[in-house]
Structure 1
Amino acid sequence: MRKKMAGWMSLAVATALVSGCGAEGNGNKAAESSAPAGEEQQVTLKYASWMSKGEDKPTIAAFMEQNPNIKVVEEVIDGNQYSQLLQTRILSDDAPDVFLLPFDQYTKYANEGHLLDLTDEPGMAILADNPSVDEAFKVDGKRYGFMINSGAPVNPIYYNKKIFEKYGLTPPTNAEEFLAVSETLKQNGVEPLVFGAKDAWTLSGTLYSAMFRSYALPKTNKDIYYALAKGEVKPSDVIDYPLQFIGDLVAKGYISEASSTLTYDQSVQYFADGKAAMFPQGTWVPTLDPIVGADPAGFELGAFFPPIPVVDGKKYALSSGDRILVISSKTKNPEAAKALFNFFVQPDNLKTYLESQSLFTVMKGIDVQTVPVLQEYVNSFSSSDFEVVIGSKSALTPAFNKEVDLALQNILVGSTVETELKRLNEEFEKTKSQMVIKE
């Protein structure tokens, strides 16, 4: 959720968006289809997201340039509390007009009538051209949101090539090699891994999620959350291996002790400063200022595929929406809100947005070029031994996701895997009835 973007790119992105939306360009077509015409009165829209580094500003600025009668006021809500604060606003009839929504809340809010039906909007055409993605976003046959980007099916592990070269190491290709590389680094006084675990998502959303999904998907007929919601499995049946993997890394001293006190931003700088050799994180990392500005004498960025388990000769991963663009059903300016929606998701504009932040999409029709350091990682998803599952018929509740975050943080500071698995089973039963199921 908390995607970062190099600040220096903003001007270039805004220029690309504006130039791509002239009278002859494709970028203006979607906006023209819904934007209020003529000398209409000034309209103000509220747009909310967790994009704290200005990631959405170029797109919004370009939209207002093309639609001078629509003013968009951007609200940035703390990413760590976004789901809870947004829920409070929605339930108190104070929802933003247009906003980003985490995928795990999409079906719930659509079912409850909080989202505007966007089925027939021009911007939905590309979603309809991707059947597997489209199916994940249909609620009773209607579409209420657009997947701006998908969470990478498996986030990469970045490494400092300078450190690896110094000790004659090559990127590991499986768990055994990963542990061997970590041990060599530790024996040479180098911290193998760092997380910004004070922000818990840096643990749960990176290495843990990769291990969890690859392990659990083949055990649950490729739908983990549906199986949990139906009671076919309990958390300890599908979370045991990934938690144990993290626990072993802690026990062997492979995770920097600083991790429990570092925020996400601090962990990026820690890695860029050469204080740790490996850094599990999202696809946006190559665009971050500390990485771009790192001293080349001691730092060179590399990336490799994490050591996820292989089951019956296959590697499994789950991809779902990360940033879902929606419109409140209570907006007082639906036509202006639709104009912003269609402009944002127009393919040329979306391509510029994604490439500027090195974000991932599984949708065909948006030809996103990745940064060179991630090319081999991206190519891995096309291999015959890799299967990407799109979406789920259910989702964990935000409350239980927080319990998983807490379990990982507890393990990092010494709690046992057994203790956390027992606690997670108990906590899951408290929220299981709140899981929304799409039959």
Structure 2
Amino acid sequence: MKGKKIIILLLIILFICITSVIILIAHNNNNIKDVSKQKEELIITGMLHQSRNYFGLKKMVEKLKIEENITIDFQVIPDEQFDTLMQMKIKAGKAPDIIDYNVPRVYGSIDPLEHLADLSNEPWINKLKNIDTLKYTDGKMYSFPLQDNSGISGIIYNKKLFEKYDIKIPRTSKQFEDVCKYLITQGITPILMCKENWVPQMWMNYGYSQALGSGEKCEEMSKKILKGEKKFSDYQELAEVIDYYVSMFKKGYVNNDYLTVTYTDMLKRLTTGEGAMILGYSEMISTIQRVDRTADIGIFNPPFDYNKNDLLVCPRFSIGFVASKDSENLETVKKVFNLWSKPEYLNLWFKDNPGFPAFILVDGGNVNADVINLYEKYKKQNKIIYESMSYLEPIQPLNSTILWPYYLEAPKEDITGEELLSRFQLDLDKYLGKTKKIYDGN
């Protein structure tokens, strides 16, 4: 009887404890809501690439709303329409408060002195790891970066598929094409491509740097082209990269419907094993694994013959945001950026999108092991190089509107690399003459 009384007493105590915890949690939640209600509601507008509408970013936006009563009204734009719509809004004086873009590449598309807010004196500046790579030429900071860098480039591949068919990582162009031929016999598309023109351009953007063979040669080429001393078509190495890219289509290694397939569907085909490989960069792996946690995706350096020095390309940009100089809500934007620089916000982004944070004390998340190993290997060998586009920022506005569409259509038109570069040179000459953005050598 005494034992029963003790059990009943313990149950009563347990009930009281549980009830107290529930009341405490409810009280804390109400306090959070009350704090939010007590603060004046603030709203800012933004433009966001569709491919970057990450779950982690949504969590950051939700946290702002709950804790600060700040709402971000994002307009999510299909990637292929983004630059055109952005320029239209800027020219019409209707730019949103914040714009999602690659940093520092954004400075080639938007004149920071004319349109962007100077963020050089914001409190989060001192927490950046490598601020010098993100500044404009005047030494000032006109952007809010999320990443220190965007990882590495390479052939993204379905590891389960390679293991199933006992396929080894190819080390030469011939071995790569042998893999492609074998995959076709198994009813699998070797190389996947999509209609978003920023995807196929990576073959050239990364390939040009590898074909030229060093960062010094990339910089030298860029200066001479921007000064008008040389033309793109003067560099046979560039034409060779385009010709190899087009040859992949001619040989049937690329999906025939690439002009209609979306980026999302392309990634899905990789995970299901309908296709085997994509030439891209490591952030694609994070995108895939957000959707399918069971996906086993790897990456290897392109083994193409034009990469004679076996160089690994690292995209020299950060996903980030810029603020409109004329925004009526600039103080709110600055408040948002300051909050977002803190680990409790940025950890949400990197948990969903593992990588290399721009800020100290931030957890980069569970970065793919192949990405880390490949990066460390080439870093030790001093064989890491930046993508060619990073040396040609003054002509950034021509990329998504003229040059990248040329790359997208090249296989269909069956033109040579030399023909494509000569065609683009005419557009470049016209642009440089009109804007007078000739490189001054400084």
**Shorter-chain TM-score: what band?**
0.7 to 0.9
Q: Distance in 2 between matches of 1:309 and 1:347?
A: 43
Whole-Å separation in 1 of the counterparts to 2:216 and 2:431: 20
- The count of corresponding residues between Structure 1 and Structure 2 is 395
Unaligned 5+ runs, structure 1? 1-21, 23-36
Q: Whole-Å Cα distance in 2 between the matches of residues 138 and 347 of structure 1?
A: 26
The correspondence of residues 198-217 of structure 1 with structure 2, limited to 5 A, is 198-205=195-202, 207-216=203-212
**Which residue in 1 is equivalent to 2:84?**
84
Contact 1:269 1:290 (C-alpha < 8 Å) held by counterparts: no
How far off its partner does 1:134 sit? 1.5
* 92-101 or 374-383: bigger deviation: 374-383
In the TM superposition, residue 414 of structure 1 has moved relative to its aligned partner by: 4.6
Bigger radius of gyration among the two:
2
Shift in CA distance, 53/328, structure 1 to aligned 2, threshold 3 Å: closer
- Which whole-Å deviations, capped at 9, do the CAs of 1:283-307 have from their partners, x for residues lacking one? 233444688549x7xx743332223
Tell me which of 208, 231, 235 is aligned to 1:234.
231
Q: Is the 8 A contact 2:45 2:97 kept in 1?
A: yes
In structure 2, C-alpha distance between the alignment counterparts of 1:164 and 1:403, rounded to whole Å: 36
**CA displacement 1:356-412 (0-9 Å, x = unmatched):** 123455777655240345443343442314233495473323234433322322232
Distance 1:153 1:292 in 2: 20
Report if the CA contact (8 A) 1:191-1:256 is conserved.
yes
What are the residue-to-residue correspondences of 1:360-379 with 2, within 5 Å?
360=356, 366=362, 368-369=364-365, 370-372=367-369, 374-379=371-376
AA in 2 matched with 1:208: M
The residue identity in structure 2 corresponding to 1:190 is I
Secondary structure of the residue aligned to 2:147 is strand
1:349 to 345, 348, 358: 345
Shift of residue 171, structure 1, vs aligned partner: 1.4
Between the aligned partners of 1:42 and 1:166, the Cα distance in structure 2 is: 55
How many Å separate the matches in 1 of 2:428 and 2:241? 17
Change (3 A) 1:263 1:412: farther
Match in the other structure for 1:63: 64
CA 1:300/1:400 → structure 2, altered by over 3 Å: closer, same or farther?
closer
State the 1:105 CA deviation. 3.1
Distance 2:284 2:314 in 1: 21
Please tell me the root mean square deviation across aligned C-alpha atoms, in Å. Answer: 3.4
* 8 A contact 1:193–1:254 mirrored in 2: yes
* Matches of 1:54 and 1:176, distance apart in 2: 38
Shift of 1:50: 1.4
TM-score of the pair, normalised by structure 1: 0.77
- Aligned equivalent of 1:388: 385
The structure-2 alpha-carbon separation of the partners of 1:229 and 1:350, relative to structure 1 and needing over 3 Å to count, comes to farther
Partners of 2:307 and 2:156 lie apart in 1 by 24
State the match for 1:99 in structure 2.
99
Change (3 A) 1:286 1:222: closer
What's the CA shift string for 1:67-116, capped at 9, x where partnerless? 12x33222223321212211222222222122223443325634442111
CA contact (8 A) 2:145 2:321 kept: yes
Higher helix share: 2
Distance 1:151 1:413, change over 3 A: farther
> Residue deviations 1:299-338, cap 9 Å, x none?
7433322236677846253532242322111122322111
Aligned to 1:315: 311
Q: Matches of 1:226 and 1:401 in 2, distance apart? A: 21
Q: In structure 1, the residue corresponding to 2:145 is in which secondary structure?
A: strand
Partner of 2:4: none
Q: Distance in 2 between matches of 1:289 and 1:102?
A: 20
Task: Sort the Cα spacing of 1:414 and 1:164 in 2 relative to 1 into closer, same or farther, 3 A.
Answer: farther
